[in-house]
Copies of this chain bind each other. A is one copy, B any other.
């Protein structure tokens, strides 16, 4: 693996990463209730006509349209009411000339009937036998024909569509209870470093708790994938290589990042047979981010500082996992006013954690290693490469932590 002498810009890094990722192809079947937010892995056609029968689109009277010709308020057409059909029932008799059947929205049209007069345009005489129709209807008026909405055999959901609540409703409408969706991608998270310990254990002298694994696992979940968390790997080459080999069975491998040069070097060396996509991005923080391809899989080395890891996970990892999961993940951006003047470096994109107070984005960044910035931040400012100063009160865009 040849090390890049120069860092690349963020947009190029993101593009390179996304281009080299392959969407998951594995398919599983889930129930329609579980399928919300999943991605359809097949075209789904209807086995039934929707509606399955011709039905009334309004409450009123099923009629023979021709019978109503010329009806007007002063000269209503009088029709004999021969029955009632509620939603969910079958009509008990057909319509013949001069008759009508009271009908509810959604109820089956009786044989012979070809239109529905809205109840508002009628009056029922006191004996409940004769209906006065004050307005004519055309053939087919206020009637939804069988299959008019969805014809049997028609494709209702297309392969690759995300199953939003509306589409889940559409699947129910055609009677489906199961649906084939793409599997959620599996994302390996490998924590490295002699200095880190799992939360919950008593801290040994010189050690700190592992942070990035838990941040990253949360990002992976939000992106619609499954985090596969490996045990903490000490800074030993053979152990890093062994874990990396095992982790390549997943769809994406992420090193949760070491913060010292030595730890970085070990990960770089473990990837010496890999094809390097980039090592070093012109971004602050997050410069040491690393990306390589090994055995057809992408391996990402996240920056080790917790805040760097967090913001770069939003900016880079979230869209990457979205690509594999076949979901377009859009970061949520809101406008705000900068809470103070912020300096940045020309040529380097800056991610600055902020707290949103009213319409003000207040920077909460202390230093890359600080945990309080992560706990306090509601999102981050992106200060573009060509901006060196953001003035206090200037309008800025905040990427909101999801």
Q: Which A residues are within 8 Å of any B CB, using their own CB?
A: 32-33, 36-37, 48, 50-53, 57, 59, 86-90, 104-108, 144, 149-150, 156-157, 164-177, 193-196, 199-201, 203, 205-219, 221-222, 227, 229, 235, 258-263, 306, 309-310, 313-314, 330, 332, 353, 366-367, 369-372, 374-375, 377-378, 401-402
Q: Provided the pairs A165-B222, A213-B172 are in contact, do residues A369 and B203 lie with their beta carbons within 8 angstroms?
A: no
* Chain B, residue nearest A34 (CB): B221
Could you list 7 A-B pairs, sorted by A, with CB under 8 Å?
Answer: A37-B222, A88-B193, A88-B207, A106-B208, A107-B195, A168-B215, A170-B211
> Which of A207, A208, A310 has the largest count of B CB atoms less than 10 A from its CB?
A208
Query: What's the Cα separation between A313 and B174 when bound, in Å?
Result: 21
Chain B residues contacting A218 (CB-CB under 8 Å) are 36, 164-165, 168-169
Query: What's the Cα separation between A193 and B374 when bound, in Å?
Result: 50
Query: What's the Cα separation between A166 and B157 when bound, in Å?
Result: 36
* Chain B, residue nearest A402 (CB): B164
Give the distance to chain B from A166, nearest Cβ to Cβ, in Å: 4
Q: Provided the pairs A108-B206, A199-B172, A206-B53 are in contact, do residues A87 and B164 lie with their beta carbons within 8 angstroms?
A: no
Query: What's the Cα separation between A150 and B89 when bound, in Å?
Result: 68
* A208 adjacent to B52 (CB under 8 Å): yes
* A195 adjacent to B106 (CB under 8 Å): yes
Give the distance to chain B from A356, nearest Cβ to Cβ, in Å: 11
* A369 adjacent to B149 (CB under 8 Å): yes
Query: What's the Cα separation between A55 and B314 when bound, in Å?
Result: 28
Q: Provided the pairs A32-B199, A199-B177, A260-B104 are in contact, do residues A208 and B167 lie with their beta carbons within 8 angstroms?
A: no
Q: Provided the pairs A199-B177, A218-B36, A261-B105 are in contact, do residues A212 and B169 lie with their beta carbons within 8 angstroms?
A: yes
* Chain B, residue nearest A202 (CB): B175
Chain B residues contacting A310 (CB-CB under 8 Å) are 165-166, 169
Query: What's the Cα separation between A205 and B53 when bound, in Å?
Result: 8
Query: What's the Cα separation between A194 and B88 when bound, in Å?
Result: 5
* A149 adjacent to B193 (CB under 8 Å): no
Question: Contact check: which of B150, B205, B353, B402 meets A371 at CB < 8 Å?
Answer: B150
Query: What's the Cα separation between A57 and B227 when bound, in Å?
Result: 30
Chain B residues contacting A193 (CB-CB under 8 Å) are 87-88
* B172 adjacent to A313 (CB under 8 Å): no
Chain B residues contacting A332 (CB-CB under 8 Å) are 330, 332
Give the distance to chain B from A118, nearest Cβ to Cβ, in Å: 11
Chain B residues contacting A157 (CB-CB under 8 Å) are 375
Give the distance to chain B from A245, nearest Cβ to Cβ, in Å: 24
Query: What's the Cα separation between A371 and B149 when bound, in Å?
Result: 7
Give the distance to chain B from A146, nearest Cβ to Cβ, in Å: 11
Give the distance to chain B from A263, nearest Cβ to Cβ, in Å: 7
Question: Contact check: which of B36, B164, B371 meets A50 at CB < 8 Å?
Answer: B371
* A262 adjacent to B168 (CB under 8 Å): no
Chain B residues contacting A222 (CB-CB under 8 Å) are 36-37, 165
> Which of A32, A105, A401 has the largest count of B CB atoms less than 10 A from its CB?
A105
* Chain B, residue nearest A44 (CB): B375
Query: What's the Cα separation between A263 and B94 when bound, in Å?
Result: 25
Chain B residues contacting A306 (CB-CB under 8 Å) are 169, 173
Chain B residues contacting A50 (CB-CB under 8 Å) are 208, 371
8 smallest CB-CB distances across A and B, nearest first, come from A88-B195, A88-B194, A169-B215, A165-B218, A170-B375, A172-B214, A87-B195, A177-B200
Taking A87-B258, A164-B378 as known contacts, 19 extra A-B pairs with beta carbons closer than 8 A to each other, sorted by chain A number, are A32-B214, A53-B205, A86-B260, A88-B207, A90-B206, A104-B262, A105-B261, A106-B260, A107-B206, A156-B372, A165-B215, A165-B219, A165-B310, A168-B214, A168-B218, A169-B310, A173-B371, A330-B332, A332-B332
